[in-house]
Amino acid sequence: MEILSHDILIVGGGGAGLRAAIAISQSNPSLKTAIVSKVYPMRSHTVAAEGGSAAVLKEDDNHDLHAYDTIKGSDFLADQDAVEAFVRDATKEVIQIERWGCPWNREEDGRIAARWFGGMSRKRTLHASDKTGFHLLHALFQTSLKYDSLMRYDEWHVSALLVDDGKIAGVLAIDTRRGTFSILAARTVILCTGGVGRIYAFTSNAGILTGDGAALAYRSGAPLKDMEFIQFHPSGLLRTGILITEASRGEGGYLFNKEGKRFMENYAPTKMELAPRDIVSRSIMEEIAAKRGFEGPYGSYVHLDLRHLGEPKIMEKLPMVRELCLDFAGMDPVYEPIPIRPTMHYTMGGVHTDKDGKTPIAGLLAAGEAACVSIHGANRLGSNSLTELLVFGARAGRTAVEYASSAKPCPSERLQALAKEKMDFIQKRYIRTENGTERVGAILSELRKTMDEKVGIYRREEGLQEAIQIIQRLKDRFNRIRLTQQSKVFNTELIGAMELDNMLEVAHVVAMCAMIRKESRGGHARKDFPKRDDEQFLHHSLTFQSPDGPRRETLPVTFTKWKPEERKY
Report the catalytic residues.
Answer: 233, 249
- Contact in structure between 551 and 541 (CB atoms under 8 Å): no
The residue count for binding ligand FAD (CB under 6 A) is 43
Angle between helices 15-27 and 384-406 (to 10 degrees): 40
One residue of 77, 161, 243, 314 binding ligand FAD per CB under 6 A: 243
369 contributes a contact to ligand FAD by CB under 6 A: yes
Query: Distance of CA 329 to CAs 244, 256, 293, Å?
Result: 11, 18, 18
One residue of 176, 188, 193, 374 binding ligand FAD per CB under 6 A: 193
523 contributes a contact to ligand FAD by CB under 6 A: no
Residue nearest to ligand FAD (CB): 14
One residue of 204, 235, 359, 545 binding ligand FAD per CB under 6 A: 204
253 contributes a contact to ligand FAD by CB under 6 A: no
309 alpha carbon, distance to own chain's centre: 31
- Contact in structure between 219 and 505 (CB atoms under 8 Å): yes
DSSP 549: S
CB of 393 to ligand FAD, least distance (A): 7
383 contributes a contact to ligand FAD by CB under 6 A: yes
Residue with smaller CB distance to ligand FAD, 72 or 135: 135
Residue with smaller CB distance to ligand FAD, 344 or 512: 344
Residue with smaller CB distance to ligand FAD, 129 or 193: 193
CB of 203 to ligand FAD, least distance (A): 8
Residue with smaller CB distance to ligand FAD, 36 or 372: 36
Query: Distance of CA 533 to CAs 226, 231, 312, Å?
Result: 16, 20, 47
One residue of 70, 74, 205, 300 binding ligand FAD per CB under 6 A: 205
CB of 145 to ligand FAD, least distance (A): 16
CA nearest 507: which of 481, 477, 474? 474
C-alpha to C-alpha distance for 151 and 539, rounded to whole angstroms: 40
C-alpha to C-alpha distance for 36 and 193, rounded to whole angstroms: 10
C-alpha to C-alpha distance for 392 and 210, rounded to whole angstroms: 21
Query: Distance of CA 454 to CAs 205, 435, 511, Å?
Result: 19, 32, 9
CA nearest 326: which of 341, 342, 311, 343? 311
359 contributes a contact to ligand FAD by CB under 6 A: no
One residue of 8, 24, 52, 229 binding ligand FAD per CB under 6 A: 52
C-alpha to C-alpha distance for 92 and 90, rounded to whole angstroms: 5
One residue of 250, 293, 349, 368 binding ligand FAD per CB under 6 A: 368
The H or E element spanning position 37 is strand 33-37
CB of 371 to ligand FAD, least distance (A): 8
CB of 437 to ligand FAD, least distance (A): 27
Residue with smaller CB distance to ligand FAD, 208 or 372: 208
433 contributes a contact to ligand FAD by CB under 6 A: no
140 Cβ partners below 8 Å, 6+ apart? 15, 18, 19, 22, 97, 100
150 contributes a contact to ligand FAD by CB under 6 A: no
C-alpha to C-alpha distance for 380 and 417, rounded to whole angstroms: 42
Residue with smaller CB distance to ligand FAD, 385 or 433: 385
Question: Which strands make up the sheet holding 350-352, listed edge to edge?
Answer: 371-372, 350-352, 224-225, 539-544, 551-556
173 Cβ partners below 8 Å, 6+ apart? 36, 153, 156, 157, 158, 159, 181, 182, 184
What letter represents residue 116's amino acid? W
53 contributes a contact to ligand FAD by CB under 6 A: yes
Residue with smaller CB distance to ligand FAD, 209 or 471: 209
- Contact in structure between 377 and 77 (CB atoms under 8 Å): yes
C-alpha to C-alpha distance for 522 and 277, rounded to whole angstroms: 9
CB of 204 to ligand FAD, least distance (A): 5
Residue with smaller CB distance to ligand FAD, 46 or 450: 46
**Site track 312-351 with ligand FAD (rule: CB under 6 A), x = hit:** ----------------------------------x-----
CB of 519 to ligand FAD, least distance (A): 26
**Site track 11-50 with ligand FAD (rule: CB under 6 A), x = hit:** xxxxxxx------------------xxxx-x--xxx-xxx
C-alpha to C-alpha distance for 58 and 55, rounded to whole angstroms: 9
Stretch that binds ligand FAD, among 62-70, 279-287, 368-376, 446-454 (CB under 6 A): 368-376
Residue with smaller CB distance to ligand FAD, 141 or 294: 141
C-alpha to C-alpha distance for 97 and 102, rounded to whole angstroms: 6
Give the interface with ligand FAD as residue ranges (CB under 6 A): 11-17, 36-39, 41, 44-46, 48-53, 132-133, 157-158, 192-194, 204-205, 208-209, 212, 243, 346, 368-370, 383-386, 389
